[in-house]
């Protein structure tokens, strides 16, 4: 196809704070650009085919549940251990009216952006 998803962009009040959190979560390196935004990718170099996360400053605050969110999957690691690691990094549990007993955890980053921690797959 002539287009591909190259970037996921997250609006921030404090891009450095949010980027620092996600860098620790993913083990990627947050890189500041002179324009005031931060980016990161798995390779850490600006390769076109490497999915980037971009953290941009915006004036407006977050007001509602995000309509687009990320799911994280443990890579071999235990879901419960990962939950504790993420909470230690500054994630918090988020109540978006979800049912009890889900197989995943609904969390939020330091600016309240919801994300889910899925169960560990064993396939």
Spatial CA neighbour of 18 closest among 45, 37, 42: 37
How far apart are CB 13 and a copy of itself at their closest, in Å?
Answer: 10
Length of the chain: 123
How far apart are CB 51 and a copy of itself at their closest, in Å?
Answer: 7
User: In sequence order, what are the beta bridge partners of 54?
Assistant: 9, 39
Which residue's entry shows tokens 């650009």?
A: 33
Spatial CA neighbour of 91 closest among 42, 38, 25: 25
Question: Rounded to whole angstroms, how far apart are CA atoms 64 and 54?
Answer: 20
By CB under 8 A, tell whether 4 contacts a copy of itself.
Answer: yes
Of residues 72-111, those binding a copy of itself (CB under 8 A): 72-77, 81-82, 85-86
Which residue's entry shows tokens 């390196």?
A: 29
Pick between residue 32 and residue 58 the one whose CB is nearest to a copy of itself: 58
Per-residue x/- mask for a copy of itself, residues 12 to 51, rule CB under 8 A?
-------------xxxx-------------------x--x
Binding interface with a copy of itself (CB under 8 A): 1-11, 25-28, 48, 51, 53-54, 58, 60, 62-77, 81-82, 85-86, 113, 116-118, 121, 123
């Amino acid at each position: 196809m002539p287009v591909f998803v190259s970037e996921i962009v997250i609006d921030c009040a404090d891009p450095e704070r949010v980027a620092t959190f996600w860098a620790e979560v993913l083990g990627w390196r947050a890189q500041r650009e002179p324009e005031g935004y931060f980016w990161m990718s798995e390779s850490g170099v600006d390769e076109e085919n490497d999915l980037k996360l971009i953290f941009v400053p915006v004036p407006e605050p977050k007001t509602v549940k995000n309509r687009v969110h990320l799911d994280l999957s443990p890579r071999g690691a235990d879901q419960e251990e990962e939950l504790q690691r993420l909470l230690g990094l500054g994630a918090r549990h988020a109540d978006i009216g979800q049912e009890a007993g889900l197989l995943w955890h609904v969390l939020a980053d330091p600016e309240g952006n919801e994300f889910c921690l899925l169960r560990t797959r064993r396939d």
